[in-house]
């Protein structure tokens, strides 16, 4: 009885039954060629080597174990196929993601280069604008200095003209207060003894004084007009 239990079929059945999905069981099944197509040979072997009373029991048990092993192999193969399909799908997705990432990286680098070029252009333009503004400021300062010098000279001339005008006005007012006649000179004894000249000479002197008065008035008026024009010029400049 124990000799039959040590038969190759029993060993294969035990190996398959203990772990149907193990590589050893699958390899033994494939090596011995025990599939559904060779089931008749197994039954024949069992009939010739096994006792008649165990023929049906051993045949049914072998069929059940072979069926379970075949089912386990099919399930393992299906699981492996599904895993391979999933793996292929994941690899394709990974490659697609890497391609998208590479495109985004190239686009980001191109945009970075464009922004750097734009920044350099703006920086150069800003530097040129700054230099132009500095040049304009220097020109404005130079012009301001020239205007200040001219204004100082104009102010000095105006003060001088005002002084002259005041002096002329003072002289004119004194002359008018004295009745339009100069201060009488002390008469000498020769003059007292000499007879008076004609009235024509006095008239001529009076005309000369009137002309002098008119000239002084015209000069004062021209000074006032010139001063007003300079003040207007200074106001328009500032």
Residue 7 has pLDDT above 90, yes or no: no
Cβ distance 45 to 89 under 8 Å? no
Distance CA 88, CA 233 (A): 91
Residue-wise burial string across 211-223, b where 16 or more C-beta atoms lie within 10 A, e elsewhere:
eeeeebeeebeeb
Identify the H or E element spanning 210.
helix 199-237
Domain positions in the chain: 2-88, 136-181+199-237
Residue 118 confidence (pLDDT): 92
pLDDT tier at 105, thresholds 50, 70, 90: very high
Contact by Cβ (8 Å): 68, 16: yes
More confident residue, 155 or 116: 116
pLDDT at 112: 92
Q: What is the pLDDT at residue 2?
A: 39
User: Residue 82: is its pLDDT beyond 80?
Assistant: yes
Percent of residues, the chain, with pLDDT higher than 70: 47
For 15-53, write each residue's pLDDT tens digit: 445 554 444 444 544 544 444 445 555 555 555 554 454
List, for residues 224-236, the tens digit of each pLDDT value: 666 666 665 554 5
Asked if 12 and 28 touch (Cβ cutoff 8 Å), the reply is: yes
């Amino acid at each position: 009885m124990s000799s039959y239990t040590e038969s190759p079929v029993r060993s294969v059945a035990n190996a398959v039954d203990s772990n149907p999905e193990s590589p050893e069981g699958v390899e033994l099944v494939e090596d011995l060629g025990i599939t559904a197509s060779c089931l008749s040979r197994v039954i024949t072997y069992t009939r010739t080597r096994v006792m008649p009373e165990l023929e049906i029991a051993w045949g049914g048990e072998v069929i059940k174990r072979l069926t379970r092993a075949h089912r386990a192999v099919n399930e393992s193969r299906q699981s492996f196929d599904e895993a391979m399909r999933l793996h292929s799908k994941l690899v394709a997705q990974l490659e697609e993601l890497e391609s998208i990432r590479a495109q985004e990286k190239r686009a980001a680098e191109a945009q970075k280069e464009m922004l750097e070029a734009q920044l350099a252009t703006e920086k150069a333009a800003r530097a040129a604008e700054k230099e132009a503004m500095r040049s304009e400021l220097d020109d404005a300062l130079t012009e301001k200095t020239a205007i200040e010098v001219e204004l100082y000279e104009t102010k000095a001339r105006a003060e001088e003209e005002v002084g002259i005008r005041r002096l002329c006005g003072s002289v004119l007012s004194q002359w008018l207060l004295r009745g339009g006649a100069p201060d009488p000179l002390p008469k000498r004894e020769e003059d007292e003894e000499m007879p008076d000249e004609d009235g024509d000479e006095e008239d001529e002197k009076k005309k000369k004084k009137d002309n002098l008065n008119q000239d002084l008035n015209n000069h004062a008026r021209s000074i006032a007009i010139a001063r007003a024009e300079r003040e207007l010029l200074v106001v328009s400049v500032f």
